[in-house]
Homo-oligomer: A and B are copies of this chain.
Amino acid sequence: MELADYNLVFNSLSFAIATFGAGTVFFFAQRSQVAPAYKTALTLSGLVCLIAFYHYLRMFDSFNHAYVLSNGVVETTGAAFNDAYRYVDWLLTVPLLLLELVLVMRLSKEETYSKGTKLAFAAALMVALGYPGEISGDVGTRWMWWILAMIPFLYIVKDLVSGLGASISKQPKAVQGLVSNARTLTILSWTFYPIVFILPMLGIGGLVAGEVNAAVQVGYTIADIVAKAMFGVMIYMIAQRKSDAGA
């Protein structure tokens, strides 16, 4: 690993720890500012950041056990960087992110339950299908799992576009734009993940199973910050505006 890559991964992991720690406190503190109907969405935003905070602490630790910087030279220690932390994190947080979006729309109880269950299940399936590809050093194997994971991914996108589309038009005028933006942010930031996944298959950053690819690590970290923390702030703004409007 090059020194520049080492520094980039090291500092972006630490940046994520700070962001998600702050996000956790923000969402729990601001939970008191929204109407009761939206408190659960804020709780979930806080939990997503808390879970990410935990996993970035672990990843930072794992990275520092796998690589040591000595006299300007990056050395491997023999310990492996544990890539699984990201997938374990996503298995928990990605369903919660979709639930945040469904909850803040305040659909009927039945619709919330059925839509929430379907989307959360598809999200967990998507993450589980991506993992065998991520830990593989073989391009063909990576493509196969990538394609399989894209099936639930496209299902979710389709449901967000068409299914939630109808519900957005029923939202109060003051938040229709914000809800629509939150949906767009979800789709765009989520699209970032499968792109980062294929970077090593395109020859960017190298592909050796068990070795850290700096482009992938920095890419996933940026995607996480957008999809979790920034998305959570949008959910909070929607919840607050709807609370003010008494909706």
- Contact call A29/B46, Cβ cutoff below 8 A: yes
Which of A65-73, A152-160, A184-192, A212-220 lies on the face that meets chain B? A65-73
> Known: A33-B39, A33-B40, A47-B26. Is A21-B54 also a contact (CB below 8 A)?
yes
Sorting the interface of chain A by its residue count into under 10, 10 to 19, 20 to 34 or 35 or more gives 35 or more
A165 within 8 A of B: no
- A123 to chain B: closest CB distance in Å? 16
> Known: A29-B43, A40-B30, A71-B78. Is A51-B18 also a contact (CB below 8 A)?
yes
CB neighbours (8 Å) of A203 from chain B are none
SS class of chain A's interface: helix, strand, loop or mixed? helix
A14 within 8 A of B: yes
Which among A22, A30, A71 has the highest number of chain B CB atoms within 10 Å?
A22
How many angstroms between the C-alpha atoms of A17 and B53 in the bound complex? 13
How many angstroms between the C-alpha atoms of A29 and B84 in the bound complex? 29
How many angstroms between the C-alpha atoms of A84 and B55 in the bound complex? 21
Q: Scan residues 24-63 of chain A and give those whose CB is less than 8 A from a CB of chain B.
A: 25-26, 28-33, 36, 39-40, 43, 46-47, 50-51, 54-55, 58
10 smallest CB-CB distances across A and B, nearest first, come from A11-B84, A71-B78, A15-B88, A29-B43, A22-B47, A70-B78, A18-B51, A22-B51, A18-B54, A11-B88
Q: Which residues in A have some Cβ–Cβ distance to B below 8 Å?
A: 7, 10-11, 14-15, 17-19, 21-22, 25-26, 28-33, 36, 39-40, 43, 46-47, 50-51, 54-55, 58, 69-72, 78-80, 82, 84-85, 88-89, 91-92, 210
